Structure 1
Amino acid sequence: MTAAATSKAKAEPAAAWGAVFSMALCVAMLIASEFMPVSLLTPMAQGLGASEGQTGQAISVSGLFAVAASLLVTTAAGRLNRKWVMVAMTALMLISLALVAAAPNFAMLMLGRALLGVCIGGFWALATAVIMRLVPEGDVPRALSLMYGGQAIAAAFAAPIGSYLGGLFGWREVFWALTPIVAINLAWHVMALPSLPAGRPQDFRAMLGLLKRRYFLAGLIAAMLSWGSAFTMFTYLRPFLERVTGADVTLLSVLLLVLGCAGFLGAWAAGRFLTGNVAPLLKLPALLMGGCTLGLLLLGGSAVAAGLLLALWGAMNTAMSVIWMAWMAQNADDAPEAAGSVMVAAIQASILLGAVVGGLLLDAMSIQATFIGGVALAAAAIALIGDGRRMLKPQ
């Protein structure tokens, strides 16, 4: 082995796959906690005496606090060991779930969701940078796909099981059921994550420096449009399926299960085929997911058509996260924590905007208007991305 190869081998971390799987479980719990109100929107609204549009803001408030936390965590954490920051974020998720489950009113629900937002922002801002330190460089796409496999697990089982159990036992019991799993994940983090000392402190100047890079800014805006399109539709999927498709609780659970199970295929495909140049893949999420939303507008009255479209949407949903985070890892590898903070803030802001605008359109106009808004955002993303080459850093 040459001296250069020996030096590179020493620089690369030994693969800590147990820690990667612990991160994947945390992702599953975060996604389940963040978007569980989607599958429980109607009963939660009834139980808290609020409209469906208002209750949908329970997602937007977590997004608001996630934006703030994602921008602050890398600077606020300073020299803290990143292992213990991740442990603290998971503990905060546990507290949030307990507050939501016990919420006597809408205000307490929003407080619990705000705490969850801090956890979401803090975790995601550091997650890709942590994964990059857990495995060698060549294994990063695979590790990312495994981590986002947690997203597929949550999408596959959290929404349909939440919808079904919510119908049997009540929405509060669904949130209580998540707490022991998060407690187990907290203990797994402590045991599996290696010590991750902080590197060079990141500040807002590093984040602003990234925004001055035209290719990074263009990619960031395209990612925001892609996520905004997805969650303008997804946040209000249950009302659409109930009103347009005519789904009862059983059919709703089946359709959400189809959507979620397809996410495993998306995560596997992204990890399997995402190698080298990511540019041609950047527009796929907006193209396919926006097309599925349009398809639901045209064919959503059929349960079979809705199921097929949701399967394609679900597969692309998990692939979207892997595609864009791989883009970030490849094009901001010199400042991964700062890039993670900016990226997560942008994504959460787009989710927040999608939930807010979608809720306003739903309450003021119709569920169809909400979905049309999602299609418009997808079209804007496709137009901006083009062939994707403008979003790659100069070689």
Structure 2
Amino acid sequence: MPVAVYILGLSIFAQGTSELMLAGLLPEMAADLGVSIPSAGLLISAFALGMLVGAPLLAVVTLRWPRRDALLAFLAIFVAAHVVGALSSDYWVIFGTRVVSAFVYAGFWALAAATVMSLVAPQSRGRAMSIVAGGLTIATIIGLPAGTVIGQHLGWRAAFWAVAGLSALTMIGVLAKVPGGRPATVAALRGELRVMANPRLWVSYGATALSTGSAFVTFAYLGAMLTGTTGIAVAWVPAVLGLYGVGGLIGITIGGRFADAHPFRTLYVGAAGMSTVAIAIAISAHSPAAMIVLVPLLGAFGFATNPALNTRVFALADGAPTLAAATNFSAFNVGITVGPWLGGLAIGAGLGYASVGSIGAAFGLAMLATVAVSHRLEREPSTAAVSSVARTPEFTTL
């Protein structure tokens, strides 16, 4: 496997840590900035908003760019945004830096995926992408608790500085190992847009958004819930958040193993599991013992569906995947945006942190219904003509 693939995975780890670590820093940031915890939680939604817009837009804009130059530009802007955020005491300035850094992070994701596909043989692409995407999974295990520990002991600004420093270091690796020059082949934008007309693709995007919303409406306020409702000492919060990451690693590993052969079964089990865990959190949020069990399960079911959701999109958009895959990345961030926003509304209305579990369960049940619709469309011959590349054998059986 080319070293560049691992460098790109490390870059995703650095940037993904920034995406995730605010879940453990909300109380500290809220107190320092003089805002409520739900308002601080909107900084998570701000990051997702930037990714929502950035993924499809920059995927199209950078189709003809020299890949290494674009990757370095995205990383440089990401680092600068975190430096500005670390130096600012204004909530709205920090909000803006979160949007900007997420915008270029989304562009980095889209371009990193295209770069990986060009660096390895077709039979190695799945493994290569798992290495790159694995950077985000490792961020939940190492980056999230590490960022929380740094934030608790040195202040949340120190966590921002740490992300900026690590991201700057990855620029050296990108410069040294990612090939320069323009891509040898450039996808046709017209073909990409034609694929986007497939209605089954948009049903799949809906499942992606609902799946992510189900997990993130709880995850966004998990640190505050553990201390404010469950009664777990602040010092133990990073360890419990680390359990979420361990569960996520187990979930994505198991989900990846079954996603190709049984995508719909994987999605059904994942949606049902997320709904069950979320309602259990709503009921048991006051119990430390229950939460220690439920937190890794939340991570496991939340990540288990990701491989099937991604594989589904690539199957429906085979031959013109750039914009379709980038839009699926945006769909993930619709869930990341809407989930914490709704959770913040519930908490702000006085319903307590446990209420986010009920919202997560509603998202999970809606996802279950969406997957059922998608499965029904898959088995209807009349829909096969929508796209010449829509059906592949592995999606015809449970």
TM-score, structure 2 normalization: 0.88
Report how far residue 50 of structure 1 moved.
0.7
Report how far residue 107 of structure 1 moved.
2.0
Instruction: Give the secondary-structure state (helix, strand or coil) at the position aligned to 2:354.
Output: helix
Measured in 2, the distance between the counterparts of 1:338 and 1:391 equals 22
Measured in 2, the distance between the counterparts of 1:74 and 1:391 equals 28
Which residue in 2 is equivalent to 1:333?
318
Which residue in 2 is equivalent to 1:314?
299
- Per-residue CA deviation, residues 250-306 of structure 1 (Å, 9 max, x unaligned), is 221221111112333234334444444533222333222232211111223222221
CA pair 78-20 structure 1, distance change in 2 beyond 3 A: closer
Which residue in 2 is equivalent to 1:49?
34
Report how far residue 331 of structure 1 moved.
2.5
Q: Does 1:373 align with 2:359?
A: yes
- State which drifts further: 365-374 or 183-192: 365-374
Q: Does 1:193 align with 2:185?
A: no
Q: Does 1:394 align with 2:391?
A: yes
- State which drifts further: 104-113 or 126-135: 126-135
CA pair 336-391 structure 1, distance change in 2 beyond 3 A: farther
Q: Could you tell me which of 254, 258, 268 is aligned with 1:269? A: 254
Measured in 2, the distance between the counterparts of 1:31 and 1:147 equals 11
Report how far residue 57 of structure 1 moved.
1.0
- Per-residue CA deviation, residues 131-154 of structure 1 (Å, 9 max, x unaligned), is 333333333332232222212211
TM-score, structure 1 normalization: 0.88
Query: What aligned pairs does 1:226-375 form with structure 2 within 5 A after superposition?
Result: 226-366=211-351, 367-375=353-361
Which residue in 2 is equivalent to 1:105?
90
Measured in 1, the distance between the counterparts of 2:135 and 2:43 equals 22
Q: Does 1:182 align with 2:167?
A: yes
Q: Could you tell me which of 111, 123, 126 is aligned with 1:126? A: 111
Q: Could you tell me which of 140, 148, 158 is aligned with 2:133? A: 148
Instruction: State the percentage of identical aligned residues.
Output: 27
Contact persistence 2:187–2:320 (CA under 8 A) = no
Measured in 2, the distance between the counterparts of 1:321 and 1:85 equals 27
Instruction: Give the secondary-structure state (helix, strand or coil) at the position aligned to 2:236.
Output: helix
- Per-residue CA deviation, residues 209-259 of structure 1 (Å, 9 max, x unaligned), is 334212212111111111111111111112221222111212212211111
Contact persistence 1:32–1:154 (CA under 8 A) = yes
CA pair 137-275 structure 1, distance change in 2 beyond 3 A: farther
Letter in 2 for 1:99: V
Report how far residue 373 of structure 1 moved.
1.4
Measured in 2, the distance between the counterparts of 1:72 and 1:60 equals 19
Letter in 2 for 1:334: G
Measured in 2, the distance between the counterparts of 1:115 and 1:70 equals 12
Letter in 1 for 2:157: R
Q: Could you tell me which of 69, 79, 94 is aligned with 1:84? A: 69
Instruction: Give the secondary-structure state (helix, strand or coil) at the position aligned to 1:282.
Output: helix
What do you get for the CA RMSD once the two structures are aligned?
Answer: 2.3
Unaligned segments of structure 2, at least 5 residues: 379-389, 393-398
Contact persistence 2:282–2:356 (CA under 8 A) = no
Measured in 2, the distance between the counterparts of 1:228 and 1:207 equals 27
Contact persistence 2:247–2:299 (CA under 8 A) = yes
